[in-house]
Structure 1
Amino acid sequence: YNKMQGWCDTPLTTPGIEGAEEAGKALSEVPFDIALSSDLKRASDTCEIIMKYNANKDELQHIASPFFREQFYGYFEGMDSEMAWRMIGGSHGYGTRQEMFAHESIDTIKDWIKEADPYHQAENAEEYWVRLDDGFKLISQLDGAENILLVTHGFTIRSLWYRYGDHIPLVPGPKNASITIMTMSEKGEIKIPKWNLMHL
């Protein structure tokens, strides 16, 4: 329906289920040690679908956490997406999110979301990254987990690209059910060498 669905807990659509099945098949030979996801239903269900194809499916544990949720859009949750982005970017001279994403940093956009929210309850950049960083602290504490499946959301993937990728443009954004590869060193250094893949 082209709605803003940050923390709105919507189910997977039929194309979403099909995309999860394809991602599961593409990742089937990666021996995951643990599976993590956002605790929102669409991400958690995607994770479960991917897991059932995995070489380690009989041993895989799934942890669903609010740390890996989508950006929280506050007042704009459930609103028509294009209308919401116009309200967020309009006072800064942007009529569409594509224009905004092409010219502004992800953190500036996050701050504008909170600024435009009449209740100022949407997450700004600082609040968002504190939450995500708590998720990565969780990952760094997982003993013996070399290959980790992490299922999250489109704007969060775009945010991670911007922070850890090498000059990755914000447009076009990631396709649904695409695969992004992240690496984390023992010191906690994160990099994104590949993104927006439909197969390995």
Structure 2
Amino acid sequence: MAINLYMVRHGETYFNFLHRFQGWSDAPLTSKGIQHGLDAGARLGSIHFDGAYSSDLTRAIHTARYILKNNQAKSPSEPTELPDFREQFFGSFEGIDSEVVTTTLGAYQSEPFNTYSDFITELGMAEAMDTIHQADPFKFAENDEQWWTRVSHGFEDIRSRHHDGDNVLIVSHGTTIRGIADKLDRHDLASNSVKNGALMRIELLPDTATILSFNDDTTVF
């Protein structure tokens, strides 16, 4: 038996639409982003969640509320905020156009790349996070070790709150979801951008975890 995690990326925000790094900064959901939350809720509407959580960033909280609004299985009506499942902190790059950030990061690598997605594909999540930290002149940006220490604590928190067989909703963020996939040795999945409102399902055991599905925005449960 295991804890069944349903981890959803928040709906589209105005920063997403404008292709800006978001991290710990916040921007409201667009109308499309609201629909992402409602659609995810409809797909998950028949699942009774024993716990419902979001990061403490507004876009995740609001998406979780839209998901729970469409739940028909007597799940919690309001998410509990867990800061451990925040996005990576991008420091000085928060709010900056992604093309500008990509150009800056290119100065710290010997091999050229065209997009931030290519950057992650070529380097892997850990080195990508470390490069962002290195390139931040104030060193505010989280590196891989800082980010994973935080997220690992979040998983231990979930284990302490829940039991075998529990269904748990967590609304989190794109880079965090990709980083988790990478830490669970699914580098093939981590190279893919996570769609707003898409789902990663994880079987969480006391000492291990297995990804059952990734970037799923079509399955109705």
TM-score category, normalised to shorter length: over 0.9
1:168 deviation in Å? 2.0
Match of 1:44 in 2: 61
Question: What CA distance in whole angstroms lies between the structure 2 residues aligned with 1:131 and 1:101?
Answer: 21
Change (3 A) 1:46 1:82: same
Paired with 1:143 and 1:99, the residues of 2 have a C-alpha distance of 37
2:134 paired residue among 110, 115, 126? 115
TM-score (norm 1): 0.93
2:157 is paired with a residue whose SS is: helix
Q: CA deviation at 1:53?
A: 1.4
Q: 1:174 aligns with which of 188, 194, 216?
A: 194
CA contact (8 A) 2:21 2:97 kept: yes
Superposition TM-score, scaled by structure 2 size? 0.84
Structure showing greater relative contact order (alpha-carbon pairs closer than 8 Å, 6 or more residues apart): 2
Q: In the alignment, does 2:39 pair up with 1:22?
A: yes
Q: 1:86 to 1:107 in 2, by over 3 A?
A: same
Q: What is the RMSD computed on CA atoms of the aligned residues? A: 1.6
1:32 matched to which residue of 2?
49
- Relative to structure 1, is the Cα distance of residues 167 and 124 closer, same or farther in structure 2, using a 3 angstrom cutoff? closer
* Structure 1 residues not aligned, in runs of 5+: none
Query: SS of the residue aligned with 1:21?
Result: helix
For structure 2, the residue ranges without an aligned partner over 5 or more in a row are: 1-17
Amino-acid identity (%): 34
Question: What is the aligned counterpart of 2:112 among 87, 94, 103?
Answer: 94
Contact 1:21/1:50, CA 8 A, preserved across alignment = yes
Report deviation, 1:134: 1.1
1:83-162 matched pairs, under 5 angstroms: 83-92=100-109, 93-95=111-113, 96-144=115-163, 146-162=166-182
Q: Contact 1:89/1:97 (CA < 8 Å) preserved in 2?
A: no
Distance in 2, matches of 1:6 and 1:15, equals 20
- State the shift of 1:173 in Å: 1.0
1:95-129 superposed Cα distances (whole Å, 9 cap, x missing partner): 42132122112101110000000001100000000
Residue 76 of structure 1 corresponds to 93
